[in-house]
């Protein structure tokens, strides 16, 4: 590999100067940051406005993401530094991998994939718990130019099947189980069920047997992970890095859309590396040799970016934590990890802090832990409520930095850039747009709204490097879902406002997506499951307020005439059905039978009004309502359940 591999010095500029330098010349700005990446063919052109749907980044460059995450650090003398720490309170184990060891593991696994016929552009689906092999798997795909698609372990077989059919993986990498604090989640039956359901069949499944749940293997299809890796190690077989275009896909990550069919967000190789490098320097301020602890899951975009790729591209150390903020074993778990591994920055979702605060409101579990190397807590994934923020600030005595982004953006859009000098924090706001993002607030007619007034939060095109160029195999859906409502802008489907100081406030979604414990879920998808029950005539799912998880789904159902089952029995079946079809992560525990749903005269279900009733908020009776009496009926049913 050639190209410039000397990392540029940490930015000496302030936020305002940096943002202005991006505005003045975006191409020069991104080409400068691109110098922190080792390219095979370095970019001469930053952006090609004529390519792709809204343009493509680094169209003439070639690279390899795995090389940047591992090989170059070994080459540059970082081989003995720890790259990855696996800290697993649920299994009682810990392991550390240096960059050299990790490179060895990844290059070997990449060779195993090649031997199974996986090549550049082929898809590999990864359905794994928080074990080091999950990170090895992602990097092994990157190494050989294969496109990975990681599916979160909390999804059920049907969701997995949908993703298998969309991504059409040649090989699936999985493990026999994940471990939740109260139970072992057997993945193998879910995987077998998903493959049986799916139209597309993978050529092979490579299964990591875990001692907590050994699983039987499908003779013709399943391979034993450890045996394949051991055999490759015995012969010293390793795969080299394959040259890919910067615009080639690195991964597909499925995220909830407004229907049950998830959107396959595509991430490229070159732009992704460049933007992650920028955020490590400018936002998180984590440099080579420093330790980052991102308490998310590799199944989410946060985990892709900040457990695996960004810390490694930066030459830092990443903590891969297989546990929870509470209950593994107690609400001091994060403090123990921070102290033990010398963590500089913790990144998690606000819900994790609500959970800790609920169990340890006075922060007693912090006592005795040395947090002297800890510099900041970053929160994202859902709105950070000011009470939780203030509690965390008072307890930890470091900046608590809310930042906003989406699976689609691939990296933070709005944040308080610690690496450029923190701006004053306003509780409730993730602060300011990061360089590269032109964030605006528009009314329904697409006109800018005044400072402080609510509107649709949109991003002026082109999006910066690392943001999605399209949806997998579905340019039409990409255009329709994101680009048509406000021509010239990407519609985030988040509502909020921008104040007179340019601080952005994100208040909630404008579509049918809800956020449960930092997990993005589609109410439309849940409605499809409820509607499939033979006793259900019609239904509506809304996200109602939850003190711990932010929101929880609540399904209102109207039963068909003549149904002989009791409403309670149907409700129990519906809860079980959502768990079976979507998975435990949907956290669907509340089905409520009502006589009628409130509707407008044109038949539109008044979901927002139902949400307000359930949340106990004042609501205006919509002028177009068909029958106002339904609202009182719903209120009475909810009161009977202790809600509203």
Short-list 332, 384, 399, 320, CA closest to 354: 384
**Three-state SS at 47:** strand
Distance in angstroms (rounded) separating the CA atoms of residues 19 and 264: 31
Q: How far is the CB of 630 from ligand COA (least distance, A)?
A: 31
Q: How far is the CB of 641 from ligand COA (least distance, A)?
A: 19
Residue 581 makes contact with ligand COA by CB under 6 A: no
Q: Which two tokens stand for residue 266?
A: 């595509």
- 267: phi then psi, degrees, rounded to nearest 5: -120, 135
Residue 255 makes contact with ligand COA by CB under 6 A: no
> Which residues, numbered 157-186, are part of the site for ligand COA (CB under 6 A)?
178, 180, 185
Q: List, in order, residues 6 or more apart from 184 with CB less than 8 Å away.
A: 177, 178, 212, 213
**Three-state SS at 586:** helix
Cis (ω within 30 of 0) for the bond into 615? no
Judging by DSSP bridges, how do beta strands 455-460 and 414-415 pair with one another?
Answer: unpaired
Distance in angstroms (rounded) separating the CA atoms of residues 210 and 185: 11
Residue 296 makes contact with ligand COA by CB under 6 A: yes
Residue 416 makes contact with ligand COA by CB under 6 A: no
Q: Which is nearer to ligand COA, 229 or 542 (CB)?
A: 542
38 in Cβ contact with 283 (< 8 Å): no
Residue 481 makes contact with ligand AMP by CB under 6 A: no
Residue 383 makes contact with ligand AMP by CB under 6 A: yes
Distance in angstroms (rounded) separating the CA atoms of residues 77 and 289: 12
Residue 494 makes contact with ligand AMP by CB under 6 A: yes
Residue 515 makes contact with ligand AMP by CB under 6 A: yes
Binding partner at 280 among ligand AMP, ligand COA, none, C-beta below 5 to 8 Å by kind: none
Residue 430 makes contact with ligand AMP by CB under 6 A: yes
Q: Is the dihedral of CA 75, 76, 80, 85 positive or negative?
A: negative
Binding partner at 406 among ligand AMP, ligand COA, none, C-beta below 5 to 8 Å by kind: ligand AMP
Interface pattern 353-382 for ligand AMP (x via CB under 6 A): ---------------------------xxx
Distance in angstroms (rounded) separating the CA atoms of residues 87 and 94: 5
Q: List, in order, residues 6 or more apart from 532 with CB less than 8 Å away.
A: 577
Binding partner at 166 among ligand COA, ligand AMP, none, C-beta below 5 to 8 Å by kind: none
Q: Which is nearer to ligand AMP, 247 or 406 (CB)?
A: 406
> Which residues, numbered 331-390, are part of the site for ligand COA (CB under 6 A)?
348-349, 351-352, 355, 381
Q: Which is nearer to ligand AMP, 271 or 412 (CB)?
A: 412
Residue 543 makes contact with ligand AMP by CB under 6 A: no
Question: Taking the chain, what is the end-to-end CA distance rounded to the nearest angstrom?
Answer: 62
Q: List, in order, residues 6 or more apart from 627 with CB less than 8 Å away.
A: 596, 598
Residue 153 makes contact with ligand COA by CB under 6 A: yes
Q: How far is CA 558 from the centre of its chain?
A: 34
How many residues bind ligand COA (CB under 6 A)? The answer is 26
Q: How far is the CB of 352 from ligand COA (least distance, A)?
A: 4
Cis (ω within 30 of 0) for the bond into 329? yes
Q: How far is the CB of 253 from ligand COA (least distance, A)?
A: 12
Binding partner at 541 among ligand AMP, ligand COA, none, C-beta below 5 to 8 Å by kind: none
Strand partners, 521: 514
How many residues bind ligand AMP (CB under 6 A)? The answer is 20
Distance in angstroms (rounded) separating the CA atoms of residues 541 and 235: 55
> Which residues, numbered 251-310, are part of the site for ligand AMP (CB under 6 A)?
255, 301
> Which residues, numbered 189-248, are part of the site for ligand AMP (CB under 6 A)?
none
Site residues for ligand COA per CB under 6 A: 153-154, 178, 180, 185, 296-297, 300, 302, 324-326, 348-349, 351-352, 355, 381, 516-519, 549, 584-585, 587
Q: Which residues of the shown chain bind ligand AMP in the complex (CB under 6 A)?
A: 255, 301, 380-384, 402-407, 430, 492, 494, 506, 509, 515, 520
């Amino acid at each position: 590999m050639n190209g410039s591999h000397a990392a540029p010095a940490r930015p000496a500029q302030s936020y305002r100067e940096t943002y202005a330098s991006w505005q003045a010349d975006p191409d020069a700005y991104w080409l400068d940051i691109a110098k922190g990446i080792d390219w095979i063919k370095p970019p001469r052109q930053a952006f090609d406005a004529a390519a792709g749907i809204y343009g493509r980044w680094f169209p003439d460059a070639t690279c390899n993401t795995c090389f940047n995450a591992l090989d170059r650090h070994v080459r540059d003398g970082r081989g003995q530094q720890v790259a990855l720490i696996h800290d697993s309170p649920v299994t009682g184990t810990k392991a550390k991998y240096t960059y050299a060891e990790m490179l060895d593991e990844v290059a070997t696994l990449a060779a195993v994939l090649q031997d199974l016929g996986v090549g550049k552009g082929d898809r590999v689906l990864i359905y794994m718990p928080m074990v080091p092999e999950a990170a090895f798997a992602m990097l092994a795909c990157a190494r050989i130019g294969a496109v990975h698609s990681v599916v979160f372990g909390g999804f059920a077989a049907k969701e997995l099947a949908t993703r298998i059919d969309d991504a059409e993986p040649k090989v699936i990498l999985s493990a026999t189980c994940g471990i939740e604090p109260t139970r072992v989640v057997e993945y193998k039956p879910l995987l077998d069920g998903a493959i049986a359901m799916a139209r597309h069949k993978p050529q092979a499944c490579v299964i990591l047997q875990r001692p907590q749940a050994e699983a039987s293997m499908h003779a013709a299809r399943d391979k034993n992970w450890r045996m394949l890796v051991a055999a490759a190690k015995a012969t010293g077989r390793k795969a080299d890095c394959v040259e890919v275009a910067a615009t080639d896909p690195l991964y597909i990550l499925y995220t909830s859309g407004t229907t049950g069919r998830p959107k396959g967000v595509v991430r490229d190789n070159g732009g992704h590396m460049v933007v992650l490098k920028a955020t490590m320097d400018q936002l998180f301020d984590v440099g080579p040799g420093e330790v980052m602890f991102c308490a998310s899951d590799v199944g989410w975009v946060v985990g892709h970016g900040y457990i695996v790729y960004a810390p490694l591209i930066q030459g830092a150390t990443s903590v891969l934590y297989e546990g929870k903020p509470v209950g593994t074993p107690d609400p001091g778990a994060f403090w123990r990890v921070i102290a033990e591994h010398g963590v500089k920055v913790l990144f998690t979702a606000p819900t994790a802090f609500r959970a800790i605060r609920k169990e340890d409101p006075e922060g007693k579990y912090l006592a005795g832990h040395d947090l002297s190397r800890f510099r900041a807590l970053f929160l994202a994934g859902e709105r950070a409520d000011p009470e939780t923020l203030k509690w965390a600030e008072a307890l930890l005595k470091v900046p608590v930095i809310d930042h906003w982004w989406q699976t689609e953006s691939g990296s933070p859009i709005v944040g308080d850039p610690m690496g450029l000098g923190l701006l004053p924090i306003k509780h409730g706001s993730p602060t300011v747009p990061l360089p590269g993002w032109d964030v605006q607030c528009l009314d329904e007619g697409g006109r800018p709204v005044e400072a402080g007034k609510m509107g649709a939060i949109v991003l002026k095109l082109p999006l910066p490097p690392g943001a999605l160029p399209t949806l997998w195999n579905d340019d039409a859906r990409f255009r329709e879902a994101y680009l048509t409502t406000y021509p010239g802008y990407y519609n985030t489907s988040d509502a909020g406002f921008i104040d007179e100081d340019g601080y952005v406030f994100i208040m909630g979604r404008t579509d049918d997506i809800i956020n449960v414990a930092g997990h993005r879920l589609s109410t439309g998808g849940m409605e499809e499951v409820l509607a499939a029950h033979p006793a259900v005539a019609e239904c509506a799912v809304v996200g109602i307020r939850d003190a711990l998880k932010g929101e929880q789904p609540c399904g209102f159902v109207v039963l068909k005439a003549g149904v002989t089952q009791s409403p309670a029995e149907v409700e129990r079946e519906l809860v079980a059905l959502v768990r079976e079809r979507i998975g435990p992560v949907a956290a669907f525990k509340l089905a409520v039978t009502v006589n009628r749903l409130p509707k407008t005269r044109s038949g539109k279900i008044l979901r927002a009004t139902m949400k307000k009733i359930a949340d106990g908020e004042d609501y205006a009776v919509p002028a177009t309502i068909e029958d106002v009496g339904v609202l009182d009926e719903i209120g009475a049913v909810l009161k009977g359940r202790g809600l509203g």
